[in-house]
Amino acid sequence: MTRITYIEHDGTEHSIDASNGDSVMEAAIKNLVPGIDADCGGACSCGTCHVFVDDAWLQAVGEPGEFEEPMLDINPERSANSRLSCQIDINDDLDGLVVRLPEFQF
């Protein structure tokens, strides 16, 4: 089990125990964390699973992938630590990961 913390836009925190192999998006949906829509079901094709990765975790999470980059690019709220949570696979190295949720998914 890997501990992941999601912080909603209003500051509400949700810490959950996620299964390795799930994506950060899937773990949120399974644990009823609000604020992630995931309309495309994890196909990197909707951009509605947008999260901001806590700076301390940027290195561990890594850069957006080749197909993720253009999806992020068309989001007006994109920032340097933006990622699509369906493209982050959970493993032991991410134990303690903190991500923040945008006010709106777009």
Partner 1 sequence: MSDVTAQDTKRKRSLVGRDPWTTPLDEIDLAHPGIWQANEFLPFLSRLRQDDPVHYCADSPLGPYWSVMKYKDIMTMEAAPHIFSSEPTIGIVDVIPEFTLPMFIAMDPPKHEEQRKTVQGVVAPANLKNLEGLIRQRVTTILDALPKDETFNWVELVSRDLTTQMLATLFDFPFEDRHKLTYWSDVATAIPGAGLIDSYEEGFEILKECLAYFSRLWQERASKPPGNDLISMLAHGEATRNMPPREFLGNLILLIVGGNDTTRNSISGGVLALNENPQEYQKLRDNPALIPSMVSEIIRWQTPLAYMRRTAKVDIELGGKNIRAGDKILMWYASANRDTDAIENPDDFIIDRPRARQHLSFGFGIHRCMGNRLAEMQLRVLWEEISKRFDKVEVVGEPVRIYSSFVKGYTDLPVMIRSSAIKSAAG
Chain residues binding partner 1 by CB under 8 A are 37, 39-41, 43-48, 67, 70-71, 73-74, 76-77, 103-106
Contact string 19-48 vs ligand FES (x = CB under 6 A): ------x------------xxx-xxxxxxx
Contact 35, 75 (CB under 8 A): no
Structure tokens of 36? 């992630």
- Other C-beta atoms closer than 10 Å to the C-beta of 24 total 27
To partner 1, the closest distance from the beta carbon of 106 in angstroms equals: 6
Residue where the block lists tokens 């959970």 = 90
Residue 74 or residue 80: which is nearer to partner 1 going by CB? 74
Note whether 51 binds ligand FES by CB under 6 A: no
Residue 66 Cα distances to 13, 34, 46, 58, angstroms: 30, 27, 15, 17
Interface with ligand FES (CB under 6 A): 25, 38-40, 42-49, 84, 86
